[in-house]
Amino acid sequence: MRTKPFSNLVLLLALLMLMVNNVSGVIVEQSEIELGKSITGGRTILVEEITATWCQSCTEIDPYLEEVAQSHGSRIALIALHPDDGVDVFSSEASQARIDRLVLSHDNYSGTPSFSVNGLDYQEGPESWPSVQREILDEETKRSDYQEISVDIKEASNFIQLDVTTSKITTDQQITVMLLAHQKQLPDGEFPGGQTRDRVLTDMLYLQMGNNQTYGERINITSIQHGEISSEASLKIFVGEFEYWSIVTSVEFTDSHISTGGPTYSLGSLEITNKQFTNYSDSKLSAFVLISFFAFGIAYIFIKK
């Protein structure tokens, strides 16, 4: 029989492989968007952060989040939710709706930054980040069974044409489409940190059986059809004001199903981005990130023993 130390070694090697085989995410170049590109996936893990433009501790942890996002590549999609608190200048209908969704299955989110991995456990405060990393690793190692999502993306005259296909959704499921702005410029004023914020959720669309919900004005439905085998939707997404953006598509349970005690986790997700990622392969920062995750992997093994 294999011993526990051997199993721990296998887990550590798996962690290192995740780090060494890092990818840059599903990046689309402008020329690819103009010609049209087809992408299939679903393994991506959603990591939602409740943040705020006034939050000092959020700006302090943001560089670490960026390193993690780049080191994990397309395996995770980091989404910044800005609450409608009357102060945050990046608050949006979409962000508040997403926060309200998380509150359905967790206690009220009272602090920033706060985190949820795939809609599961709630973690609050910068000191919770090691636990969040552990949850990301847990979800990655379990993400063998997921709902596949196929996306065709192409630039039209003044918008992005997005065609989404997945297995037929049921009455308690939905296709969620989220638009994120990268390097979003803050207005004039006094804010902690730099003058931009990343991964800002600006618009969102819930595609459900007979009940679609739109948050914001940049995502419009052209058509939607639920067949016997698959669900298909065609969308127009207006990204013209954003130099860098991401589109995250996810299959998940509806808010009404969650409110009655149903599961909260994502069934499958896919992120497409035109953001330019820094190449860390030859930098000292790359070594730092790898060593940090190596140390985390060792700590994780001992915690699990």
Q: Is residue 65 part of a domain?
A: yes
Q: What is the dihedral of CA 52, 54, 58, 62, to 10 degrees?
A: 90
The pLDDT of residue 129 is 83
Mean pLDDT calculated for residue range 127-131:
86
Residue 29 sits in which domain range? Answer: 23-279
Tell whether 32 is covered by a domain: yes
CB count in 10 Å sphere of residue 202: 24
Flag the least confident range among 15-19, 48-52, 136-140, 228-232. Answer: 15-19
In a domain, 284, yes or no: no
Confidence of residue 302 (pLDDT cuts 50, 70, 90): low
Report the Cα 295 to chain-centroid distance in Å.
25
Give 277's pLDDT tier (boundaries 50, 70, 90). Answer: low
pTM of the entire predicted model = 0.83
The domain that holds 50 is classified in CATH as 3.40.30.10
Is the confidence at residue 213, as pLDDT, over 70?
yes
pLDDT band at 70 (very low <50, low <70, confident <90, very high): confident
Domain count, the chain: 1
Q: HEC profile for 35-73?
A: HCEEEEECECEEEEEECCCCCHHHHHHHHHHHHHHHHHH
145-156 per-position pLDDT tens digit:
899 999 999 998
Asked, for residue 47, whether it belongs to a domain, the answer is yes
User: What would the mean pLDDT of 230-248 be, rounded to a whole number?
Assistant: 95
**For strand 76-81 and strand 45-50, is the pairing parallel, antiparallel, or unpaired?**
parallel
Q: Which residues, including other chains, have CB under 8 Å from residue 285's CB and lie 6 or more apart?
A: 67
Measured N-to-C along each axis, helices 4-20 and 129-142 cross at an angle, to the nearest 10 degrees, of 100
Q: What is the mean pLDDT of the chain?
A: 83
At residue 223, the pLDDT reads 96
